[in-house]
Amino acid sequence: MLSICIDEVALSRGELYTVLTNKEAHGGKGSMIAIIKGTDVHTVTSVLLKLSRRRRYQVREITLDMAPNMEQIARICFPAAKRVTDRFHVQKLAYEAVQEMRVKARWEALDEESTQLAYAKA
């Protein structure tokens, strides 16, 4: 079973690249599969579809962020792979939602406090 990651990174001057890594290599030798300039579906799939069909079907799991283009690339190029959302992106989304709720609750508490102070002064 081959497990890979696909993500987009900005390497220099805001230029975006798509990076594929082999998770099983744990950052060691053989962990880098491809670095492709750009992140659009057509550009990336045109490169990845040059890999043999056999190699692409050996990928059983692909970890990706929640970007629609990455989902589409994974589906087209690695159709047999189970797609897994990257934990970092899920945690970030949950954190942002909790933060938004916390700020809203704080403003509501401040408004309530102001109302009570105004009522006490009257």
Give 114's pLDDT tier (boundaries 50, 70, 90): confident
What gap in Å lies between CA 97 and CA 55, rounded to an integer?
A: 39
Superfamily of segment(s) 2-85: Ribonuclease H-like superfamily/Ribonuclease H (3.30.420.10)
Question: pLDDT, tens digit, for every residue of 25-72?
Answer: 776 776 889 999 999 999 999 999 999 999 999 999 999 988 999 999
What pLDDT is attached to residue 14? 83
Question: pLDDT, tens digit, for every residue of 85-110?
Answer: 887 776 777 788 888 899 999 998 88
Residue 73 near residue 44, CB atoms below 8 Å: yes
CB neighbour burial string for 47-63, b if at least 16 within 10 angstroms, e if fewer:
bbeebeeeebeebebbb
* Inter-CA distances, 45 with 23, 62, 64, 108, Å: 20, 15, 15, 49
